[in-house]
């Protein structure tokens, strides 16, 4: 049987449970998922020579990482050729692309330093999301940026944030797609602080100063990302969950961003999505895979990933939730890491959209819990793989079975020649 024939059989099966798989595929093709540029070079960027510092870490030393803008864009193109569905670019400020001999510090960045990203995105019909980079820089003073007690330090980072707002608006205007701009800092302390509130008050005022930069709320969507702890700053995080959520809730136009690696190990973001959607018109996500901590492993088609996608779909939240990937594995082929994570999230969305959500909700509301359990178990064995294979074929990307050969060939032809 061909992929198409298997799909047609699956389609017939899904029709019996009220799901139109053609419609699902057509819709899935149009849902943008933001693809992080930082998987390609282990979160280094182009504006400094030093290592990744500031509460996050990559581990591994797999050969072939991108070292220049040209290499990174080439690798991203290769990775995207292995991903079905609609992509949006996610760029960090440290990925500014300067002309030869040019350099400006982060507080002085301008739209022109990202013109190459715009060109790349436009040619591929993509929007762009953006992130100020509050790490890997010598102006991170004693582990603090926007919450530092040192006024000059705070000022530098506020100026950086403002510059990023202007760049975000430029992205939105150029691409015609709103730009989600995410504020995350690794600010915190390794050991027990004497003042927990001071840094948070300063952080609040600094973010307010950044958001005082004029911008069109329809074009720029600022977010604040929380975290439980960072590596080396285990005792205290300025931008905790309560801080970030309350900030977003009390500042019009500011979105909360939940990264599912940033909570205590038994907390799940899937349960938090509907809670936030009950209050916020729009929210943002970083989708990752935390193993025991914020380890940022490649996203897989695992239970919590499925559960998060399910919540977005059954809360009718596809238009209200900005979805971005955020992981970085330096121990395996980076193209494969990129593509596998993106494909896993696509699978999760597909699975969620191929579930009879209305029927299941009705069973819950009628307290028919025995039947609900059986129906939910039944749904797990629907012929999703046949729909997925056809979706990949339709999008012109390899089937799962052909992925390794594709990444292996690129590794041999391109990556291993980077000496
Ligand atoms: C770090 C946060 C943050 C970063 C990126 C690179 O723990 O998740 O989102 O991963 O900004
Ligand atoms: Zn994140």
Q: Are residues 51 and 62 in the same domain?
A: yes
The structure tokens listed for 399 are 């089937």
Q: Are residues 165 and 48 in the same domain?
A: yes
Task: From the candidates 227, 297, 306, 347, give the one annotated as an active-site residue.
Answer: 227
Q: Are residues 217 and 326 in the same domain?
A: yes
> Is 326 in the active site?
yes
Question: Residue 287 above 90 pLDDT?
Answer: yes
Question: Residue 245 above 90 pLDDT?
Answer: yes
> Is 225 in the active site?
yes
CATH for 209 = 3.20.20.150
Report how far ligand 1's centroid is from the alpha carbon of 360 (Å): 35
Residue that finishes a domain, picked among 305, 332, 353: 353
Mean pLDDT of all residues belonging to the chain: 98
Residue that finishes a domain, picked among 353, 384, 401: 353
Q: For residue 292, give the 3-state DSSP assignment.
A: coil
Question: Residue 419 above 90 pLDDT?
Answer: no
Report how far ligand 1's centroid is from the alpha carbon of 256 (Å): 14
Q: Are residues 279 and 399 in the same domain?
A: no
In this prediction, residues 350-373 reach a mean pLDDT of: 98
Name the closest ligand to CA 185. Answer: 1
DSSP label at residue 254: P
Question: Residue 21 above 90 pLDDT?
Answer: yes
Q: Which residue's CA is minimally distant from atom 10 of ligand 1?
A: 326
> Is 100 in the active site?
no
> Is 139 in the active site?
no
Residue 53 CA to residue 134 CA, distance in Å, equals 10
Question: Which atom number of ligand 1 is nearest to the Cα of residue 225?
Answer: 9
Residue 125 CA to residue 121 CA, distance in Å, equals 6
- Which residues lie below 8 Å from residue 391, measured CB to CB, with a gap of 6+? 25, 28, 84, 346, 350
Burial of 254 (0-12, 13-18, 19+ CB in 10 A): buried
Q: Are residues 336 and 368 in the same domain?
A: no
DSSP label at residue 99: P
Task: From the candidates 92, 162, 286, 310, give the one annotated as an active-site residue.
Answer: 286
Question: Residue 356 above 90 pLDDT?
Answer: yes
Segment 76-105, tens digit of pLDDT: 999 999 999 999 999 999 999 999 999 999
Number of structural domains the chain divides into: 2
Report how far ligand 1's centroid is from the alpha carbon of 230 (Å): 10
Ligand 1 binding pocket mutation candidate from 184, 269, 327 (most atoms within 8 A of CB): 184
Number of H helices, E strands in the chain: 14, 10
In this prediction, residues 112-136 reach a mean pLDDT of: 98
Segment 328-344, tens digit of pLDDT: 999 999 999 999 999 99
Segment 141-158, tens digit of pLDDT: 999 999 999 999 999 999
pLDDT of residue 412: 98
Neighbour count for residue 102 (Cβ, 10 Å): 10
- Determine contact, residues 182/262, Cβ cutoff 8 Å: no
Give percent of the chain above pLDDT 70: 100
Question: Residue 310 above 90 pLDDT?
Answer: yes
Give the residue numbers spanning the domain of 291.
Answer: 31-353
Burial of 344 (0-12, 13-18, 19+ CB in 10 A): buried
Task: From the candidates 169, 187, 294, 329, give the one annotated as an active-site residue.
Answer: 294
Report how far ligand 2's centroid is from the alpha carbon of 183 (Å): 10
Report how far ligand 1's centroid is from the alpha carbon of 307 (Å): 22
Q: Which residue's CA is minimally distant from atom 2 of ligand 1?
A: 184
Q: Are residues 297 and 392 in the same domain?
A: no
For ligand 1, residues with CB inside 6 Å are 38, 43, 56, 92, 131, 184, 225, 227, 259, 286, 294, 326
Report how far ligand 2's centroid is from the alpha carbon of 134 (Å): 13
The structure tokens listed for 170 are 């430029």
Residue 326 CA to residue 22 CA, distance in Å, equals 30
Give percent of the chain above pLDDT 90: 99
Confidence class for position 182, pLDDT limits 50, 70, 90: very high
Question: Please, which residues have CB less than 5 A from ligand 2, an ion?
Answer: 259, 286, 326
Residue that the structure tokens 């080396």 belong to: 232
Show the beta-strand stretches assigned E in 112-247. 128-131, 179-183, 188-189, 220-225, 236-237
Q: Are residues 383 and 322 in the same domain?
A: no
> Is 294 in the active site?
yes
Residue that finishes a domain, picked among 323, 338, 353: 353
In this prediction, residues 117-137 reach a mean pLDDT of: 98
> Is 92 in the active site?
no
Q: Are residues 262 and 376 in the same domain?
A: no
Q: Are residues 290 and 375 in the same domain?
A: no
Q: Which residue's CA is minimally distant from atom 11 of ligand 1?
A: 184
Q: Are residues 299 and 277 in the same domain?
A: yes
- Determine contact, residues 257/225, Cβ cutoff 8 Å: yes
pTM to 2 decimal places: 0.98
> Is 102 in the active site?
no
Can you say how many angstroms the Cα of residue 239 is from the centroid of all Cα atoms in its chain?
18
Q: Are residues 7 and 57 in the same domain?
A: no
Residue 60 CA to residue 313 CA, distance in Å, equals 35
DSSP label at residue 37: G
Q: Are residues 44 and 100 in the same domain?
A: yes
């Amino acid at each position: 049987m061909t992929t198409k024939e298997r799909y047609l059989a699956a389609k017939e099966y899904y029709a019996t449970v009220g799901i139109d798989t053609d419609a699902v595929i057509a819709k899935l093709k149009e849902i943008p998922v933001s693809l992080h540029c930082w998987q390609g070079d282990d979160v280094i960027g182009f504006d400094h020579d030093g290592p990744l510092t500031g509460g996050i870490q990559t581990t591994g030393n797999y050969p072939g990482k991108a070292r220049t803008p040209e290499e990174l864009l080439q690798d991203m193109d290769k990775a995207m050729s292995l991903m079905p569905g609609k992509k949006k670019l996610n760029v960090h400020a440290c990925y500014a692309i300067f002309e030869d001999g040019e350099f400006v510090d982060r507080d002085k960045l301008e739209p022109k330093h990202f013109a190459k990203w715009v060109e790349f995105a436009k040619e591929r019909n993509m929007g762009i999301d953006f992130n100020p980079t509050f790490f890997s820089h010598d102006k991170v003073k004693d582990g603090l940026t926007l919450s530092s007690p040192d006024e000059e330090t705070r000022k530098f980072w506020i100026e950086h944030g403002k510059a990023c707002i202007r760049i975000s608006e430029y992205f939105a205007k150029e691409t015609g797609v709103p730009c989600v701009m995410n504020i995350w800092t690794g600010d915190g302390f390794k050991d027990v602080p004497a003042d927990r509130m001071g840094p948070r008050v300063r952080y609040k005022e600094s973010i307010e100063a950044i958001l005082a930069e004029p911008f069109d709320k329809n074009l720029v969507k600022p977010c604040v990302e929380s975290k439980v702890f960072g590596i080396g700053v285990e005792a205290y995080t300025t931008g905790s969950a309560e801080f970030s959520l309350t900030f977003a809730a009390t500042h019009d136009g500011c979105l909360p961003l939940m990264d599912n690696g940033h909570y205590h190990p038994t907390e799940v973001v899937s349960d938090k999505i509907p809670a936030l959607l009950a209050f916020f018109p729009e929210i943002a996500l970083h989708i990752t895979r935390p193993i025991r901590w914020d380890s940022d492993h490649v996203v897989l088609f695992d239970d919590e990933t499925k559960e998060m996608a399910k919540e977005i779909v059954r809360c009718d939240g596809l238009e209200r939730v900005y979805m971005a990937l955020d992981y970085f594995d330096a121990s395996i082929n980076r193209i494969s890491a990129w593509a596998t994570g993106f494909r896993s999230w696509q699978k999760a969305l597909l699975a969620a959209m191929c579930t009879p959500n209305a029927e299941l909700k009705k069973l819950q509301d009628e307290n028919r819990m025995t039947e609900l359990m059986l129906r939910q178990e039944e749904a797990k064995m629907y012929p999703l793989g046949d729909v997925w294979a056809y979706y990949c074929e339709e999008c012109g990307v390899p089937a799962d079975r052909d992925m390794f050969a594709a990444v292996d060939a690129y590794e041999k032809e391109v990556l291993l020649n980077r000496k």
